[in-house]
A and B are shown apart, each in its own frame.
Chain A
Amino acid sequence: MDVKRRKFLKIAGLSAVAGLAAPSAFNLLLNKGEALATEGRSGAKSEAHGEKSGETSRQYGMVIDLERLQRSPGLAEKCIHACNTEHNIPQYNNPKDEIKWIWLDDYRHSFPEHSQYKKNTALAKLPVVLLCNHCAHPPCVRACPTKATFKNSDGVVMMDYHRCIGCRFCMAACPYGARSFNWRRPREKDANGKYKFFPDGVNPEFPMRMRGVVEKCNFCAKRTLAGRLPACVEACGDSKALVFGDINDPKSEISQVLKAKYTIQRKPAAGTEPSVFYII
């Protein structure tokens, strides 16, 4: 073949340009197609692990009326006791080993973002009932490396103890201290063959946990699935101190309470969107 040097260089140059430009042009066209397809789905976000799947999905929440709780002394303790017996929470009587699903603390430590300056004296003594906030954007779920903790279709942040490896990343991630680690074996028995850490007996309907897993409130997922109220809410009876329901359903009782009353959340600036609200 008789190719002149000039012609050869022209062909080589053009081929190089075409070779470099073709893939990017192809990509551009493909992505445009994809972008159009996404728009067609009315901009629906992909439902990632732990992400909220829109306002229409169910999100169980709770309103805690601290005033009403304070008005009937012993009621808060009754709620906590109901939870402890329902879920076999061991009583170690040692703050380092403590397991807590629902517990009491003071206003100052429960709402550290709120001003404590020149507040009324009653507030300092106000016992606050605390539990997992079942956040709309739970940081614990994002931190969990094994997806042992996850958000279920009811918006409840659940624990799968079978999958928990006890790394405690979730405890570090939770801004509310709502998670407890099992440092010891809750099943230990004394010389008489009785459970050491369950002075009020155990509930055989609910499994215990083992050493080395993290546990927390599950909004009584087993009970709510069966159409019952959580144990703490049931323990409150008709006092309406605790109101439980779907905060995304505008017709639910809890939504009515939230519309009518001024409520506060714990650490709203953390951006986790807690589902537990407080009436002070």
Chain B
Amino acid sequence: MYDKGKVLTGLAIFVIIVTFPIWYNASGSEHYPNPKILTKVKDCVMPLAYMRSSHMKLLVDWRDEVLRDGNRTKVTVDGVKYQRSLQDGCMYCHKSKTKFCDECHKYVGTEPYCWDCHFVPKETD
């Protein structure tokens, strides 16, 4: 084999670069999303699993029902009535956009444009 030293050094550098993401993240420094719900209420309008996977579908359905059909009836869970509204419904319990919405959205790198028009409630902690 010609240039043994050069080839092996090159190979080693190549392997290090290719596997860089693996060992970089193995150090355990990664930040996992941890959305905070600032409310005493236990139940959401839908089961947790559904909300985690399909809250965007629920929001779109609510939007169409309220805006296009004029159906502003409230959703009752455990005797508590909630408005079918992002601004006045969801954010009633999930008071903090930065601690709830942004936690996961930033992690998965999505940027919903809800807040271009809707108002973020005042962050109260």
- Using a CB–CB distance below 8 Å, which chain A residues touch chain B? 150, 152-154, 158, 160-162, 187, 202, 204-205, 207-210, 221, 225-226
Residues of B within 8 A of A209 (CB): 117
CB distance B70 to A210 under 8 Å?
Answer: no
**What 0/1 pattern do residues 61 to 93 of B give for CB contact below 8 A with A?**
001000111101000000000000001100000
**Chain A, residue nearest B117 (CB):** A207
Q: How many chain-B residues does the 8 Å CB contact rule pick out?
A: 13
B116 in contact (CB, < 8 A) = yes
B40 in contact (CB, < 8 A) = no
CB-defined A-B contacts under 8 Å, sample of 17: A150-B68, A152-B68, A152-B70, A153-B69, A154-B70, A158-B67, A161-B117, A187-B116, A205-B88, A207-B87, A207-B117, A207-B119, A210-B116, A210-B117, A225-B70, A225-B72, A226-B72
B32 in contact (CB, < 8 A) = no
Residues of B within 8 A of A205 (CB): 88
B4 in contact (CB, < 8 A) = no
Inter-chain CA distance A226–B113, complex, in Å, is 28
Residues of A within 8 A of B70 (CB): 152-154, 221, 225
Residues of A within 8 A of B67 (CB): 158, 160, 162
B52 in contact (CB, < 8 A) = no
Inter-chain CA distance A34–B15, complex, in Å, is 73
Inter-chain CA distance A157–B25, complex, in Å, is 54
Residues of A within 8 A of B69 (CB): 152-153
Residues of B within 8 A of A221 (CB): 70
Residues of A within 8 A of B116 (CB): 187, 208, 210
Inter-chain CA distance A208–B113, complex, in Å, is 12
CB distance B87 to A210 under 8 Å?
Answer: no
Inter-chain CA distance A22–B69, complex, in Å, is 46
Residues of B within 8 A of A162 (CB): 63, 67
B118 in contact (CB, < 8 A) = yes
The 9 closest A-B CB pairs, nearest first, are: A210-B116, A207-B117, A207-B118, A204-B119, A208-B117, A210-B117, A160-B67, A209-B117, A225-B70
Min Cβ gap B101→A in Å is 16
Residues of B within 8 A of A210 (CB): 113, 116-117
Interface residues of B in 14-66 (CB under 8 A from A): 63
**Chain B, residue nearest A156 (CB):** B70
Inter-chain CA distance A152–B116, complex, in Å, is 25
Interface residues of B in 88-103 (CB under 8 A from A): 88
**Chain B, residue nearest A204 (CB):** B119
Residues of B within 8 A of A202 (CB): 119
**Chain A, residue nearest B67 (CB):** A160
Residues of B within 8 A of A208 (CB): 116-117, 119
Partner of A160, one of B68, B72, B113: B68
Inter-chain CA distance A158–B87, complex, in Å, is 20
